[in-house]
Chain A
Amino acid sequence: MSQLEIKNLHVSIGDKEIVKGLSLTIKGGEVHAIMGPNGTGKSTLSKAIAGHPDYTITSGEVLLDGVSILEKEADERARAGIFLAFQYPSEIPGVSIANFLRAALQARLADGEEIDASGYYKRLYAKMDLLKIDRKFTSRAVNDGFSGGEKKRCEILQMAMLEPKVALMDETDSGLDIDALRIVADGVNTMRGPNLGVLLITHYQRLLDYIVPDYVHVMYDGRIVKSGDKNLAHELEAKGYDWIKKELATAQA
């Protein structure tokens, strides 16, 4: 069983510190939700773990199965088992989803090893059936002209094919209607199991009605300020984030 350990992580963009000492351990089989108001560093956290060059990790550790990933390039982290489902996935004109995924899987093989084409398509189609995705979908260019829902579906399919150890899902629910939200939730629920740890980053409780988390964390001003189970999400829904802010202010006073 895999685990991702984040230890006292500090992340800056330029001179500005965004994540200010965050610790969290995600074990295989667990779904953690991070909630919090806008601008508290939720997306920064996920991009920094994935290795985006704009984000500087100034101190702290991120270990995947006990091994630090911070010295690795983004692609090495991906191949080690970190998957980031993007809030705004990029478009890659002219590259079909099928070819893109094939290249991504090929990149995981040793030099000189060729991916088995028929085996690959068999697996791709099996995953698509599982996620109820139409066969024609993978001949389209990656995210090129896709609706919001199609982009998320594309992210979920990639996640299913790449079988990461840890999936970081960055505001996967933003801008989705209820049908698209169901697609994402069904996909994640299908993949849920001992081999996958999930970090769900979300602004709203709504997604958590469909993907029920094991743990809920509230992030505020670059740190986790409160943790609990799924009921914490309901509490936040009822009372809003101001309640947390007040509690914090009292504690600090």
Chain B
Amino acid sequence: MKPPTETDILPDSAEAAAMENPAVGIDQSAGNFSYNMEYAFDAGTGLSEDTIRYISSVKKEAPWILEFRLKALKKFFSMPMPTHWATKDLENIDFQKIRYYLSQGQKPKRTWDEVPDDIKKTFERLGIPEQERKFLAGVEAQFDSEAAYSNIKEIVSKQGVIFVNSTEGLREHPELFKKFFGKVIPTGDNKFSALNSAVFSGGSFIYVPPGVKVAQPLQAYVRINAENFGQFERTLIIADEGSEVVYMEGCTAPKFSTSTLHSAVVELVALKGAKIQYITVQNWANNVFNLVTKRGIAHEDAEIKWIDCNIGSRLTMKYPGVVLKGERARGEVISIALANDGQHQDTGAKMIHAANNTTSNIVAKSISVGQGRSTYRGVVHIPKHLKGCKNNTECDALLINTNSRTDTYPAISVRGDKNSTQHEASVSKVSEDMIFYMQQRGLTEGQAMSLAVNGFINDLARQFPMEYSVELKRLIDLEMEGSVG
């Protein structure tokens, strides 16, 4: 293989800034670089049964997985694009121009020293090894289709915690995997879950044994390096009875002139009394279609909390959900979306109450800058036969400029009279008087905007781990810099 050559898409000054600030990699400029790679495994361009057979064979999968994939592909081709409710921008995705599988191998390395240089450089630039040392219990770093690095601290693995990528999970823990795989999100849930089920690669498989509380977060970092690429990771997290785990994912991609597709499926299972917290900081370059299905099932007394922050991408469609299956289960979605020029953040939450005395909470805040557009879609369902269920939904939108746009589509169906729900929504605009007030104290217009936006999301940002909230603030400062004038 040829030695890798580095191609940077950024001008020197921006690249220098990216190098200075590699911290958590949610600064979009920091992610805007790529390496010219030759991939050992390449499924080519376009989607057919052959693509599926190629992916399955290089992964040396069991026959039932290939069957699962082929069935999903049929499903995908048979389903229409959901443009009767979603944006027509989806029609701009050409599925035959996408590369579905690119990797250097199917087995991730356990130490950074073994990771190929160009891939290692990528993650070092994004600050991943440094974070791992500082505050993570385990890291999986996915580069295009497969994890290049995966490691879990010994103290955690000794407790019986499994943290591997989905390829390894299927190979080494097939019984556990099969039991829950595709059960939370069936293949035909939507067109993109079907696509993911056909071509999935990468993503995490996590199992936490009964009563084990993982003290530090587990982190996955997903990176797109190649152009015209589609990334389809598949994550399954099972928290057994009374266990607790926090999972964080970060993502970046370079900004190519052509669009990139990212379509993940994430399934969570919190068994009796377990707690799962899933934190996402999405900072894709703004040519990425980010169409993700995320859902969890919370059994008796279990708790699932999604903390979801969407800053990048061209179009994000993502509505994390919780099925509250057992009595007293709790579900929560905390969501921040920032849509800048040329971006559409179509996000929200789903809460399906399916047992008595279950509670759910949704707090969604969106910021639309310039011609950015943010949409909130929410579903809360409490059927008639249940009692003692509670939902709280708050969605607040902040508009920065007069041409910014926000839409809210809440759908709350509460049947019966033994349940309660409350819904609050607000739209506010950063007023000229507020900006003048802050400018009069010496802040520039851009600094004033940043402060107003940071204030708007302050109560939610505090729920992020320290490292992320600091970066979040810095990122908002960056996004606001160009938004005034």
Q: What are the interface flags for A39-63 relative to B under an 8 Å C-beta threshold, 1 for contact and 0 otherwise?
A: 0000000000011111000000000
Contacts of A83 in B (CB 8 A): 440
A107 touches B443 (CB 8 A): yes
Contacts of A79 in B (CB 8 A): 442
A78 touches B439 (CB 8 A): yes
Residue in A52, A94, A105, A108 whose Cβ sees the most chain B Cβ within 10 Å: A94
B434 touches A92 (CB 8 A): yes
| A73: Cβ under 8 A from any B Cβ | yes
B444 touches A107 (CB 8 A): yes
| A128: Cβ under 8 A from any B Cβ | no
How many residues of A are counted as interface, with CB atoms below 8 angstroms from the partner's CB atoms?
Answer: 30
Q: How many B residues are at the interface, by size bracket?
A: 20 to 34
Contacts of A100 in B (CB 8 A): 438, 441, 451
Tell me the chain A residues, 12-43 only, with Cβ under 8 Å from chain B: none
B447 touches A95 (CB 8 A): no
A90 touches B431 (CB 8 A): yes
> A104 to chain B: closest CB distance in Å?
4
Contacts of A53 in B (CB 8 A): 432, 436
Tell me the chain A residues, 136-163 only, with Cβ under 8 Å from chain B: 141, 158, 162
A75 touches B443 (CB 8 A): yes
> B205 to chain A: closest CB distance in Å?
38
B455 touches A73 (CB 8 A): no
Name the one of B432, B443, B456, B459 contacting A104, with C-beta atoms under 8 angstroms.
Answer: B443
Tell me the chain B residues, 415-435 only, with Cβ under 8 Å from chain A: 431-434
> A101 to chain B: closest CB distance in Å?
8
**Known: A86-B437, A89-B437, A107-B447. Is A94-B454 also a contact (CB below 8 A)?**
yes
> B432 to chain A: closest CB distance in Å?
7
Residue in A53, A74, A91, A141 whose Cβ sees the most chain B Cβ within 10 Å: A74
B441 touches A78 (CB 8 A): yes
> A85 to chain B: closest CB distance in Å?
10
Besides A73-B444, A75-B448, 7 more A-B contacts (Cβ < 8 Å) are A51-B440, A75-B444, A92-B434, A95-B452, A100-B441, A104-B442, A104-B443
- List of 10 A-B pairs having minimum Cβ-Cβ separation, nearest first: A94-B455, A94-B458, A95-B455, A90-B437, A74-B439, A104-B441, A75-B439, A78-B442, A90-B434, A107-B442
25 contacts between A and B (CB under 8 A): A50-B440, A75-B443, A75-B444, A75-B445, A75-B448, A78-B440, A90-B431, A90-B436, A90-B437, A91-B434, A92-B455, A94-B458, A94-B459, A95-B458, A100-B438, A100-B451, A103-B443, A104-B443, A107-B442, A107-B444, A108-B442, A141-B455, A158-B441, A162-B441, A162-B442
